[in-house]
Amino acid sequence: MSLSLSASGQPAALQPEDYQQKIKQVFAEVGKVVVGQQYMVNRLLIGLFTGGHILLEGVPGLAKTLTISTLSKVLYLPFQRVQFTPDLLPSDLVGTMIYNQNQSVFEVKKGPIFSNLVLADEVNRSPAKVQSALLEAMQEKQVTIGETTYPLDLPFLVLATQNPVEQEGTYPLPEAQVDRFMMKIYVDYLKKADELEVMRRMANLSYVGDVSPVLTKEDIFGIRSLINQVQISETLEKYIIELVFATRKPADYDLAEYAQYVQFGVSPRASIALHRAAKAVAFFDERDYVLPEDIKEVAKDVLNHRILLNYEAEADGVRTADLIEAILRKVPIS
């Protein structure tokens, strides 16, 4: 697509419809390699365009890693994949000081965290110190090596995966650290037709899924700026607050049957994440205003990992998803 020139001779800024067309191209490119995971790709892009980190959870073989690595190829951004293992050290992630014998000085060797996209594969397989180093970088957008603090290049996005099976020998992320992820996505099995297509592709030993880069760093910041301009009414902002408070005090929202199960509701990060994610959904739908449905669409992914239920809930078979669904049904838009 050729760009028109402004009066200064510089390329004119892209219009919202140009960016929206590019987003559709991203889905098409990823679809050349990954089958049937449009929902996951949608959530990854919401994270990318709103500055929110994403945690993916699903059983092995559901293309979590493949989707993220394919998405990285569609973006003009540096990408690093880190396989988290029990023997991984914080210095393996953030970097360390190396002594240069020739010059008799210590030099900084930066780790893979110094990238725009970082895939933390099986993040729950590394000890707490490594997880803390990762999550500190996610929050502060900077890393300290020795006595010097280095800012991370923006955009900086961590896409982490974990699987719910084989929990022996893993180090589950503490709730306070999981809260730093904007969304937690549960990746489910494919539909029959999609799995049939995957089987046919992978059975062909000569199959190569080549993708072409679509989005530049400038495009990403341009889309972020447009999403920030999406309008959300004061009524819907108050609706977000009501949803958040309903997770903390269900009895106040005609949800007394869930009050005994909630140990902790969601943090203020949830309100911010709902606000940003709803704007992104509206922009994807080519609107410059947020609808209630936009908030409801992302509510489960934003809230599910932030609500902490007690052991009584587990004993009675009450799930976080049940509470979220009940909240969305009961809390009115006033």
Read out DSSP for 222-285? HHHHHHHT-B--HHHHHHHHHHHHHHH-GGGGT-HHHHTTEEE---HHHHHHHHHHHHHHHHHT
Number of Cβ atoms within 10 Å of the Cβ of 196 = 12
CATH class given for the domain over 16-205+212-217: alpha beta
281-322 pLDDT tens trace: 999 999 999 999 999 999 999 999 999 999 999 999 999 999
To the nearest whole number, what is the mean pLDDT of the chain?
Answer: 88
pLDDT at 80: 92
pLDDT at 13: 63
Which band of pLDDT confidence, cut at 50, 70 and 90, is reported for residue 201?
A: confident
Q: What is the mean pLDDT of residues 122-127?
A: 88
pLDDT at 173: 83
User: In this structure, which amino acid lies at residue 245?
Assistant: F
Return the SS3 of 184. Answer: strand
Give the span between the Cα atoms of 223 and 42, in whole angstroms: 14
Return the SS3 of 193. Answer: helix
pLDDT at 249: 94
Residue 2 pLDDT exceeds 80: no
Compute CA distances 201 → 65, 140, 205, 209, 308, whole Å: 17, 42, 8, 9, 41
Residue 103 pLDDT exceeds 80: no
Angle at 49 between CA 213 and CA 217, to 5 degrees: 45
pLDDT at 11: 44
Q: What is the CATH number of domain 230-330?
A: 1.10.8.80
Strands 142-145 and 148-151: antiparallel
**Predicted structure pTM score:** 0.89
177-192 pLDDT tens trace: 789 999 999 988 989 9
Task: Give one word for 103, left, alpha or beta, with left for phi > 0 and alpha for psi -120 to 50.
Answer: alpha
Task: Give one word for 26, left, alpha or beta, with left for phi > 0 and alpha for psi -120 to 50.
Answer: alpha
Q: What is the mean pLDDT of residues 39-54?
A: 94
Under 8 Å between Cβ of 54 and 183: yes
Residue 208 pLDDT exceeds 90: no
Domain coordinates in residue numbering, the chain = 16-205+212-217, 230-330
Burial of 286 (0-12, 13-18, 19+ CB in 10 A): exposed
217-271 pLDDT tens trace: 999 999 999 999 999 999 999 999 999 999 999 999 999 999 999 999 999 999 9
